[in-house]
Amino acid sequence: MSVAWTVLLTYPLMVGIQLASARIGRITGKGLTENFSRLCPRWLVLGLVILLTVANVINLGADLNAMGDAASLLLGGPKAAYAVAFGTVSCALQVFLPYKRYVSILKWLTLSLLAYVGVTLTVQLDWVQAARETVLPHLQWSKDYATTVVAILGTTISPYLFFWQAAQEVEEINRVARDKPLRIAPGQAKRELRRLRMDTVVGMGFSNAIAFCMIVATAATLHAQGQTNVETTAQAAKALEPIAGHMATLLFCLGIVGTGLLALPVLAGSSARAIASLLHVRKGLDQPPAAAKAFYSVLAAAMVLGTGIAVSDLNPIKALYWSAVINAVVSVPIMVAVMVAASHPKIVGDLTLPRLWRALGWLATAAMGAATVTMFIAWS
């Protein structure tokens, strides 16, 4: 529970940076890459997109690796085969399933996150002690503790989420005939900006509640039994069984698979859209494959590379851990670009980010930067 305090810290910061990203997409009708290109030299935008793509591909591999491990535990058989199957099915759904139906699948997949709530409710826990350690944490100065905090920040405040959030607003504008970018339809601003605030506040609240359940479940089961060196997803799931029963193990595995299926299209899609924007070609999951060949080719390539990482001899738990650390490090320059764009008149006109959200977004950027620097200092 020594890191549960990060959930309280990251919630308002997540709201600030995600709302900034969403507003950029809704106001301009363009994704982050196009808007960055209006403010930054091409070499800088290219660097940001490369950082995003590298982090996403590593994350894809880590997720597929963990999903294969969990499926192997539940069903038997080689985890590599399951990882390849998950990657293939996810890619096929993104390419061939109509966008409207695909979004409905993603929405239902979010219910898989409740598996972590289920695990938390099935274990014995001192909730008073948990609340005390969350509000009044005992901070540590060590390399492992600093890296773990950065990994948690990188899991909750990830660069692919910024690009995906903006892209989803653009997709909605393209899908709904009456919706227009707010710069050319300011009459829609009041309604749409209110919706963005509500969606972001509720969505980030749900996200952090799930993160809290993950931390609590781990502390009450694995850590309480002195198991701090878990190397595989299957090992973590099996370790839960004598402590919390077979149902907790089942819920844990289903949570790994469900959240992975939810993350794969976000990771691959955000990279594909960013690269397609740099190439000035048609893009978006609402486009038929024949009309956006470059976009879907990049998406498929990201999935193939991620699958290649997944079937290699990696430690799945460490892969997930270090992919989160990489996300945190990569996110800092991207967050700076998001915050500048969200308040720049050239991008958003008069609809600049309000003072409160601007402060939270910059605080998120500063916190991520400070945590990353602290981690590197702890390593030295």
C-alpha radius of gyration, the chain, whole number: 20
pLDDT band at 46 (very low <50, low <70, confident <90, very high): very high
- pLDDT (average), residues 342-352: 93
Place 221 in a pLDDT band, splitting at 50, 70 and 90. Answer: low
What's the whole-number mean pLDDT along residues 223-244?
Answer: 61
Report residue 79's pLDDT band, with 50, 70 and 90 as the boundaries: confident
Burial class (CB in 10 A: 0-12, 13-18, 19+), 353: buried
Supply the range of the domain harboring residue 181. 5-379
Structure-token pair, residue 85: 């199957």
Average pLDDT rounded to a whole number, residues 139-147: 83
Confidence of residue 226 (pLDDT cuts 50, 70, 90): low
Overall average pLDDT of the 84-109 stretch: 83
In angstroms, the CA 274 to CA 31 distance is 8
Q: How far from the centroid of its chain's Cα atoms is residue 165's Cα?
A: 10
Distance CA 63, CA 317 (A): 10
What does each C-alpha distance from 20 to 13, 227, 375 come to in angstroms? 11, 40, 26
Instruction: Categorize the per-residue pLDDT at 92 as very low, low, confident or very high, splitting at 50, 70 and 90.
Output: very high
In this prediction, residue 243 has a pLDDT band, given cuts at 50, 70 and 90, of low
pLDDT at residue 139 tops 80: no
**DSSP H helices in the chain:** 5-28, 32-39, 42-75, 79-96, 99-109, 114-122, 127-135, 143-156, 159-175, 189-220, 233-244, 246-279, 293-310, 316-342, 345-348, 355-379
Round to whole Å and give the CA distance between 307 and 299: 12
Question: Does the pLDDT value for residue 227 go beyond 60?
Answer: no
In this structure, what token pair is assigned to residue 183? 């710069």
What whole-number distance in Å separates Cα of residue 212 and Cα of residue 310?
27
Instruction: Indicate the pTM of the whole model.
Output: 0.86
Cα angle: 343, vertex 269, 77; to 5 degrees: 140
Q: 349: which 2 tokens?
A: 């006109």
Determine the pLDDT at residue 220.
66
Q: Whole-number mean pLDDT of the chain?
A: 85
So what's the pLDDT on residue 304? Answer: 94
Give the 3-state secondary structure of residue 374.
helix
Residue 358 has a pLDDT of 93
pLDDT at 26: 95
Lowest mean pLDDT among 179-188, 253-262, 331-340: 253-262
Q: How many domains does the chain have?
A: 1
Ranked by mean pLDDT, which of 243-257, 302-316, 363-377 comes out on top? 363-377
Round to whole Å and give the CA distance between 300 and 93.
11
Q: Please report the pLDDT score of residue 347 as a whole number.
A: 95
- pLDDT (0 to 100) of residue 135: 79
Q: Which two tokens stand for residue 297?
A: 């080719």
The domain that holds 200 is classified in CATH as: 1.20.1740.10
Whether residue 224 is predicted with pLDDT greater than 60 in this model: the reply is no
Can you tell me the distance from the alpha carbon of 53 to that of 58, in angstroms, rounded to the nearest whole number?
A: 9
User: Hunting for tokens 């405040």 — which residue is that?
Assistant: 157
Distance CA(97)–CA(50), nearest Å, equals 28
User: Looking up tokens 């977004």, which residue turns up?
Assistant: 361
Residue type present at position 272: A
Task: Please write the tens of the pLDDT for every residue from 321-336.
Answer: 888 898 899 999 999 9
Measured in degrees and rounded to the nearest 5, phi and psi for residue 29 equal: 75, 15
Residues 301 and 268: beta-carbon distance below 8 Å: no
